[in-house]
Amino acid sequence: MSSVSVSVAMATYNGQRFIREQLDSLAGQQHLPSELVITDDASTDLTLAIAQQFAKRACFPVHVHQAEKRSGYRTNFMKAATLCSSELIAFCDQDDVWSPRKLALCIEPFRDPAVLLVHHDAEVVTEAGEPLGSLNHFASAPMAPPLSMCPIRRHGTPLGFTEVFRRSLLQLSHLRERSLDYNDLREPMAHDQWVFFVASVFGNIAYVDQTLAYYRQHDFNRFGWDGRSEFFLYLPRALRRPITSLHAGKRVAEKCGEILEEAKAELPDAWQQQQAAVGAARYRLLAERYAARGRLYTCGNLVERARAFFLLASTGGYRPKRSWGFGPRALLRDLCLGLPLGHLLRADLA
């Protein structure tokens, strides 16, 4: 697909320490981007000057836009994406390094017109480039059909720098401000959460099981990586009531359903309207499951807790997380803790 046009959307803010290496990795792509759009969020260091210098020597167009005041990474990334002109768009962080094969391999799945988004594995590295681990916990099936994945969980969405997507996913971006971020209910979904959410409803999502970027960890990461064992991360959570997280899941699912209902009225295509309706119903059901699971940890009546548990178990509520369920770990926890004494566990500290 050498003739495929792909834009790179880079959001920057005070990134002078690492941005040169990232820009050089873009210039070294086997499949060169058709353009690089940089939206700078009012940096106070040399980030803008470095970007402008690169624009003069790059072998592809580079468009640099500077904001007068900060808007935050969510708005900044969405602005960069909307300024892109290609059919395909790749989100790009300022402090990582891309494999030369990244764009070439990520555009291949788009031969299938049903594919709306592609993501890939990445290696986590230190500031100096030393390996720390992998992001393979975001791995999915090579091809996931519409509504086969539930992206609203904590850590349920692949990181933005691993995503390449069709520009058509931006057509509903005016509804993003109505959404909620599972990790912070005060904010709408981030750029990567939003495009993954829309793609998961209306098309196929492809996964490239190769390390195509190096995710640099340093003191100024907006989000970082924790390489501790999942067991040691899970054990403290298993001994407290998950009311906060279940409430967040319920609210986010409800909001996703509302957004899809509104999208159904706007979309011109009959198939998309149907997908929006099906997606809205799926998210409403998920909200009900969150509410039912919440009763396991709030209701003092054992009979009511038993009804909630068996309702979840009988309706697929404990299917794997990738399949819209809470997963076997949640089943074990609810059976051993929530059902017999969930209301007695100490308050959720999340």
For the chain, what are the domain ranges?
6-216, 231-344
Give the Cα separation of 256 and 198 in Å (integer).
10
Whole-angstrom distance, CA of residue 268 vs CA of residue 290: 32
Contact by Cβ (8 Å): 197, 179: yes
- Any alpha helices (H) in 129-221, and if so which ranges? 191-202
Q: What is the pLDDT of residue 114?
A: 98
Domain 6-216 class in CATH: alpha beta
Which secondary-structure segment (H or E) carries 293? Answer: helix 270-295
Q: pTM value? A: 0.90
Tens-level pLDDT at each residue, the chain (350 residues):
668 999 999 999 999 999 999 999 999 999 999 999 999 999 999 999 999 999 999 999 999 999 999 999 999 999 999 999 999 999 999 999 999 999 999 999 999 999 999 999 999 998 887 889 999 888 999 999 999 998 887 667 899 999 999 999 999 999 999 999 998 999 999 999 999 999 999 999 999 999 999 999 876 555 554 554 443 333 344 444 567 889 999 999 999 999 999 999 999 999 999 999 999 999 999 999 999 999 888 888 899 999 999 999 998 999 988 778 999 999 998 998 888 876 676 444 33
pLDDT of residue 343: 67
Residue whose pair of structure tokens reads 């319920």 in the numeric block:
250
pLDDT for 239: 43
Q: Which pLDDT score is estimated for 350?
A: 31
